Amino acid sequence: MDTFRLISVVLSMVLGLGVTRLLLGLVGIFRARRVSRLDWLVPTWAFSLFLVQLEYWWAINQLPLVMDSFNFHDFMALVVLTLALFVAAALLVPSRPEDEAGSLRQFFELDGKWALPALSAFFVMGFLANVFFLQVSPISWWGLFDIPLVAIPLVVFTTKSRRLQEVLSAAFVPLLAVDVAISLVS
């Protein structure tokens, strides 16, 4: 088995756990709908995170087309990127029945929004991986496009304003969709 296949197996296992965690959390939210007040921010961020996970999974499988060989440092960088997505998925959605008992908004404010710094960290590390792995210029137009993808989750995480959280969360989805489209065509 070549080096990339070993790398992709490890990354796919962790990514698969993150996707599973996210989807199970969304099923838990659905099941708790009778006893818990729903809130649209968590599903919005969950959809965004799911899209990032899938796009990253696709990008991993495209790596052999742009990189001939992989060393341990490359492997570790990819593991850290993957772990950032797993942590974001694990924090974003409730995992215990007692988390689902209150309102989803309360869960997001207390625990769920801690996923957003992990998502921002993923975008920062992804930017650095593009610069160092793929030798893409850090001042290219796509690099500027990454700025709001890093900033918006951090602002939503830090702000106390519900209105600002809503506006930025709603703005994040189309920005992310454009970013994914750019990634898939380049």
For residue 98, the model assigns a pLDDT of 63
Nearest to 20 by CA among 43, 45, 42, 50: 50
For residue 100, the model assigns a pLDDT of 57
CA separation for the pair 35, 71 (Å, rounded): 50
Mean per-residue pLDDT pooled into runs of 10, the chain (186 residues): 82 95 90 81 96 94 85 92 97 77 84 97 94 83 87 98 98 95 83
